[in-house]
Amino acid sequence: MPKDLQFRAALREWFGRQSNYKNLREAAVGIGVPFNTLRGYFSGKQPKEKNLLLLAKATGLELHASHKSEKQKRPSLKKANPEKPNLKKQIYASRVLDDLQDDLARCIAAIPAVQATLTEDVPKAKLSAPARSGRRIQSLMDALERSLAQVLNDPKALDMVRKTISGSDAGYLSGLLAALFDDRRLQTWQQMTTYKYGSK
């Protein structure tokens, strides 16, 4: 453990000026610490908090043990100096999430067809409540809006979206969603629409 030279100098200066104790042994008794312990402090050994307070009270000095262990000095080093994000890890994580979104979107799109096949002979009363379908459609709309929001201000991404998705499919869904809220309009839409989703 390194010697604290300033601490040692302060103690020695105090002892040279004081007149209450003839020697260190008497000082140790008066301060309330073992003689060998006090002698170590006069050599530069660092006291623990309890003995530091006793020394400060007895000497009237503002004593500080300046050489603390690295653990004591920086108990929250990681919090004070957080590790900078690793760019490669961030890019990798983003790509993994992109792949996951793609896989989930394909799975979600495939589920209704599979479900319809499985439940062809099942009475509708036995199937899930309509409210669940409504919540599911709202969740899909939320996901669509958030996905679109990411590309609206990026010309390159927006151009890629336009080249990737079907304009006819987008128009079909737009018309269907708008018609959902009016029975007469929905009936008209069903009668007039000849386009089949996914055909273009």
pLDDT in tens, 122-166: 777 666 666 677 777 888 888 888 888 887 888 888 888 888 888
Q: Tokens standing for 73?
A: 């000095």
Question: Taking the alpha carbons of 55, 67, 2, 7 in that order, is the dihedral positive or negative?
Answer: negative
Read off the amino acid at residue 90.
Q
* The pLDDT value given to residue 133: 75
Percent of the chain with pLDDT over 90: 8
78: pLDDT confidence band, cut at 50, 70 and 90? very low
Length of the chain: 200
Where are the domains positioned within the chain? Answer: 5-67, 86-117, 131-164, 166-195
Which class for 10: exposed (0-12), middle (13-18), buried (19 or more C-beta within 10 A)? middle
CA separation (Å) from 97 to 103, 110, 146?
Answer: 10, 20, 14
* The pLDDT value given to residue 73: 41
pLDDT in tens, 168-190: 888 888 888 888 888 998 899 88
Fold held by 5-67: 434 Repressor (Amino-terminal Domain) (1.10.260)
88: pLDDT confidence band, cut at 50, 70 and 90? confident
Averaged pLDDT of the chain: 80
Q: For the whole prediction, is pTM greater than 0.95?
A: no
* The pLDDT value given to residue 34: 93
